A and B are shown apart, each in its own frame.
Chain A
């Protein structure tokens, strides 16, 4: 058995090394993820990893507290939208635009997350389903705004006007990577450290691991839940801000939903086994997978959606590998 575990990967590596076509595809993958002119592809991988990291960390906060928040997509979209509204229309001095947009994005995402928990606690709509259903009104609303009232009519597609030039997040010299990554990395570090060392993190973990115990200990489980969902949604919203002020410089219809950022973030957290320090690694892995698949498409014409197929298979395999990622209570 232990030998069989090595045979398949070794055979695969040997096949890639020996068969020229496969080698070309593998090189295309590597080039798509790490290469390109002026390391263009590497920076786009890092840029995507930043978005996925933000989404994954947002999900992580909720999952650690035992709350299955599948509403990351709606929280991300509303955050991005709020940031775009502030960036384009708020009559603020330039220095105030970014803080206001961050605040707006985090509020929009956080409140949308709290709404999902309120539906669960107050109206008995299970969080799993309620949070997921909230994605659709948020997504369609943003899509409508971007294609009708806020549309930049001069451009041919459904998108808003550009963010003011001086307020956009600057890029690192000579790359396409913007400063948005500072936000997501900082949030990820904060969450990882807070989870481990702060009282709040301990309480969230306790509520996730043993809600009955947490309540018996006198922890404010009601308030903690809302705090966790607000934080989870706010981080997703902040991620939307980095995308809108960073690489897109405006809100483009579908820019946050079509790449399945939110779902990939959830998958990354599951792959990490809901262990905080592993989450950035998992997020980076899925970013490499997505941009590498783009490289395979350019080299060999393999549609880049192969990355989504592999993502789906990874999660199926993980679920079936016997590790208990989620357990349902009361069965």
Chain B
């Protein structure tokens, strides 16, 4: 039976990384930073979550290391784009390559492992049981026993929506994207606000990576983000960076991921189910983008 408890339990695990990364990307987008380094930032987060969790033997250590690494990658991105005036796309390409190389390099340099590192010492995120709910057929496995990052990601959706619409900082973030000169006349620096948005996206993507490596499993494999950062970019573009729209989009792609994994149990080859989210991403974008939201030239 495909619709069993294991399946429902797996859905939020696939939603969480996409949701976190897409929210981070949306913050950047709103501030006119076309951050497509989400993939690399996630990969770095996934790796350092394992590092922190392994050396401190506590999940908080993993989260802390992932956050620090995410902020560092965000800082690198901000330095080369906001500070040095580099192009978003070129810097993103550089950061993605750097992340792919650095994680494999450190995997071998620190743990002397190729391909994969798993160890019983890697502490995973605690699962939050919800007494009462866990007995309900569908909602039980769906909601009970999920990681703290799932709830954080869910909570961030209304918080970021409210913040972008109502809070002063949100207004300034949008102004940095839509009307930077107006921001300057207020004596504020769009550059500083963009930097904050990039740092936040680094942290959020890294948390998404942590969900992959120390919650869904307790190991790191090379290229673990496996294109999820690009799906997150698609979600951001589809939803025009609106957090409330990002939630259903992330749920959709999370479901696709979960069903793909399930379909493998029925003999469908892994490669074909792995390709499905990307094909669907193109189809969904074609269906939703009525006008090009982005023009690029050389």
Contacts and interface: CB of A to CB of B under 8 A. Distances in A.
Interface string B136-156: 000000000000000000000
Interface stretch (B14-22, B103-111, B181-189, B250-258): B103-111
Given A140-B274, A309-B101, 9 more contacts: A119-B286, A125-B289, A130-B285, A144-B269, A144-B272, A211-B297, A305-B102, A315-B93, A320-B80
A301 B34 CA distance: 38
A126 B236 CA distance: 13
A314 B101 CA distance: 13
Given A124-B292, A307-B101, A312-B98, A266 B298 contact: no
**CB-based closest 3 A-B pairs:** A308-B101, A312-B98, A319-B86
Interface string B232-246: 011001000000000
Interface string A312-331: 11111011111011111111
A327 B298 contact: yes
Say whether chain A's binding surface is mostly helix, strand, loop, or mixed: helix
A143 interface: yes
Interface string B279-296: 101100110011111111
A140 B108 contact: no
A249 B90 CA distance: 34
Contact of B34 (A260, A270, A328): A328
A317 to B, nearest CB: 8
Given A140-B274, A306-B101, A208 B298 contact: yes
A30 interface: no
A133 B282 contact: yes
Given A208-B298, A274-B298, A319-B94, A129 B101 contact: no
A137 interface: yes
B271 A320 contact: no
A124 B94 contact: no
Interface of A: 63-64, 66, 68, 119-120, 123-130, 132-134, 136-137, 140-141, 143-144, 147-148, 208, 211, 260, 263, 266-267, 270, 274, 302-303, 305-309, 311-316, 318-322, 324-331
B296 A326 contact: yes
Interface of B: 32, 34, 36, 76, 79-81, 83-91, 93-102, 104-105, 108-109, 227, 230, 233-234, 237, 269, 271-272, 274-275, 278-279, 281-282, 285-286, 289-298
Contacts of B89: 68, 128, 326
Contacts of B293: 126
Nearest to A147: B271
Given A133-B278, A312-B95, A327 B234 contact: no
A129 B237 CA distance: 10
A136 B94 contact: no
Contacts of B230: 129, 132-133, 136
A25 to B, nearest CB: 14
B90 A270 contact: yes
8 contacts: A125-B289, A126-B237, A137-B275, A305-B104, A308-B102, A311-B101, A312-B101, A327-B297
Contacts of A270: 90, 93
A34 B267 CA distance: 48
B298 A133 contact: no
A126 B292 contact: yes
Contacts of A140: 271-272, 274-275
Contact of B291 (A124, A128, A318, A331): A124
Nearest to A62: B298
A314 B230 CA distance: 23
Contact of A326 (B99, B101, B227, B297): B297
Given A130-B282, A327-B87, A303 B275 contact: no
A209 B285 CA distance: 28
A305 B292 CA distance: 37
B221 to A, nearest CB: 13
Contact of B285 (A125, A309, A331): A125
Contacts of A318: 86, 90, 94
Given A263-B93, A316-B80, A329 B98 contact: no
A129 B229 CA distance: 12
Contacts of B272: 140-141, 144
